[in-house]
Structure 1
C-alpha cells in the first residue's frame, strides 16, 4: 500500500478520494468505524479510499517531554490501514507549519486544493487547525465552499464506555490485556529490532530477544504471556509463543528498561531481526529475587502458566 506525504501533491490517480481523517493511534474499534464509513462511501462512488494519520502525534509536538504513549508505529498503522482495505495511507507531519495552519487553510488549501479530496470522514470530536479552531461543523461549512463533502461518525461504546486510545492506555498501564485486546480488536503489540543485551538469560537457561521500547506506551511492568511474530529474515512469518519481562529487571544491576521475551522451544538467532511481540495475558508484577535459584524457579512457573494460556493460539 502507498504511503503518501500530505505536504506533497496528491498523485493524479488518487485525487477525488474519500479520506478518513484522524490520528488513529492504535486503530481501535472507534477508529475502525470512521475508516469503514470512508471506505464504504468511496466504494459506493467508485473513488479511492485513503486513511490519514498524524506523525508525530500532536501531543508530542506541543508537549515534547510527555512520557511515551504511542500504541502503534507508522509501519504498524500502514499495515492495519491496508488490512482495512484502504488504497493508501496519508501522513501529515505535525510540525510548526502544520500547527500554524488555520482551520480555513487546512480545509480549502490542503484538503481540497493540494490533496484534491472529494470527501472527508472524521469522528464527531475531531478538531483541527491553529488553536483547534476547526471542528466537524467548521469542516462541513468550509468544505461546502470548495466542493469538499464531510461526514462525522459518532463515538463507539463498549461495556458502557466510549472506546478511546486513552482508555486502552489506561488498561495497559494496569495490565488489563483482555480489555485492551477487546477495544483494539487485537492484542497490543510492540515491534522492534532484536538487540544484543547482557545475555544473562542465556546463562540461566532462558535466552531472551531484547527490544527497546522507543516511543511506545509502557504497559504495567511485569511478566506477560506473549506471542512473537518474526517480521524479517529467513524465518519471516514464524509465530512463536513465549513469556516476556516488561520492565527494568530489578534482580539485576544496573536497571535497564527493556521488553525481554523468552520464546519456548526456540534456539534460532534473532539478533538484528525485527519482531512484533503481542501482549496476551498479564501474569504477575515485576519482582526482585534474593537469589538466582529463586528467580529461575519462578521463571519456570511463569513459562508453564504462559504455555497453558497460549495453548489455543496456533503457531506458524
Structure 2
C-alpha cells in the first residue's frame, strides 16, 4: 500500500479512484465496512482504492481541549488500513489553513483534481469542509456537478443504533468508553480484534523480577488508549521479531502498584513462564483480551504474590 503525505505526491490514476474519507481512528468494524466497499467498487471499475485521512486529528488542532485520546498511533492505523486491501492512503496534514477550505474547495482539490475520483464512499454522518459545513447532501450535489458517484453506507452494526446512550455501537467513541470501563472484550467486539497499546520497553522498579514475575514496562509515550486500572489477560507482541517468540501469552497490569504506594500509572506485561526475556529497548504491543480483576492493595508481599500466581493461572486458562 502506498502512503502519500501531500497532494503533490499522489500520482495520476488512468482508470480513476474510488475513495473514502475519515479519521479512521482504531479502524474498527464500521470503518472496515467502508474500506471493504471502496476496495470492492475499485476492483469492479478497475480503479484505484484509496482512503483520505488526517494527521493530527482535526480536534487536536481546532479544539485541543475536546480532542479525543487516539485509539492507535498513525503507523498502527495505516497498518490496519493496509490489511483492508487499499492501494493507497493520502495522509493530509491537518492545519488551520486546511480547516478553512470550503466543502467545494476540498472536494475539487482533493477528490477531483488530485485523486480523479469516480466514486466516493462515506458514512451517512460524513462532515467535511470549513466548520463541518459539508454533509452527505453537499457531497452528493458536488458529485453530480463534478461527475463522480457517491455511495453512502448506513450504520452496519447489527446492534441498536445507539445502545440507549446516543453513542453508535460501532464507533471510536464506543471503544473509548468500553476501555475506560475496563470492558476490553466489548471493545474487541467493536474493533474486530483485541485492543492494543504500542510502545518501547523501558526499565521499571524491577519489583516484578524480585517477586518472580519479571514484566515488560511500556514507556509513558506508548500509543493507544490504556484501559481502566486492573489486571488483564492478553498478549505481548514483539513487533520486530518473528517465530514463536513474536507473540507471547501474558498477564498485564495497569495501574500504580498501590501495594507499594506507587503514584505513576504503568502498563506492565508478564510473558507467562518466560523469565529470561531481555526486551529493553524493543518496540512491543500489549493486547488486552480479558479483564481479570480491579487493582487491589494487599497487606503484604506474600498476599500479593499468591494473587499474582492465581492471576497467571487464570490467564493460562483463558489464553490456551
TM-score norm. by structure 2 comes to 0.90
Aligned match of 1:188: 195
Deviation at 1:63, TM superposition (A): 3.0
Deviation at 1:174, TM superposition (A): 1.3
Distance 1:66 1:260 in 2: 29
Deviation per residue, 1:251-284 (Å, 9 max, x gap): 2344112210111122221111111111000011
Aligned match of 2:91: 91
Judging changes above 3 Å, is the alpha-carbon distance between structure 1 residues 14 and 233 closer, same or farther for their aligned structure 2 residues? farther
Instruction: Report if the CA contact (8 A) 2:197-2:225 is conserved.
Output: no
Aligned match of 2:113: 113
Deviation at 1:160, TM superposition (A): 2.4
Higher deviation after alignment, 275-284 or 12-21: 12-21
Judging changes above 3 Å, is the alpha-carbon distance between structure 1 residues 62 and 287 closer, same or farther for their aligned structure 2 residues? farther
Instruction: Report if the CA contact (8 A) 1:158-1:183 is conserved.
Output: no
Aligned match of 2:293: 284
Aligned match of 1:77: 77
Deviation per residue, 1:221-258 (Å, 9 max, x gap): 11000111111157697110010111222223441122
Matching of residue 17 in structure 1 with residue 24 in structure 2: no
Judging changes above 3 Å, is the alpha-carbon distance between structure 1 residues 68 and 167 closer, same or farther for their aligned structure 2 residues? closer
Distance 1:18 1:197 in 2: 48
Distance 2:149 2:43 in 1: 15
In structure 1, the gaps of 5 or more residues are: 312-316
Aligned pairs (5 A) from 1:288-299 = 288-299=297-308
Deviation at 1:213, TM superposition (A): 5.2
Aligned match of 1:314: none
Deviation per residue, 1:121-167 (Å, 9 max, x gap): 11110101110110111012123222333211111223324411111
Residue 218 of structure 2: SS of its match in structure 1?
Answer: coil
Judging changes above 3 Å, is the alpha-carbon distance between structure 1 residues 182 and 7 closer, same or farther for their aligned structure 2 residues? same
Matching of residue 26 in structure 1 with residue 26 in structure 2: yes
Distance 2:295 2:312 in 1: 15
Residue 38 of structure 2: SS of its match in structure 1?
Answer: helix
Distance 1:216 1:112 in 2: 34
Instruction: Report if the CA contact (8 A) 2:72-2:225 is conserved.
Output: no
Q: Report how many aligned residue pairs link the two structures.
A: 311
Distance 2:73 2:46 in 1: 30
Aligned match of 1:165: 172
In structure 2, the gaps of 5 or more residues are: 162-168
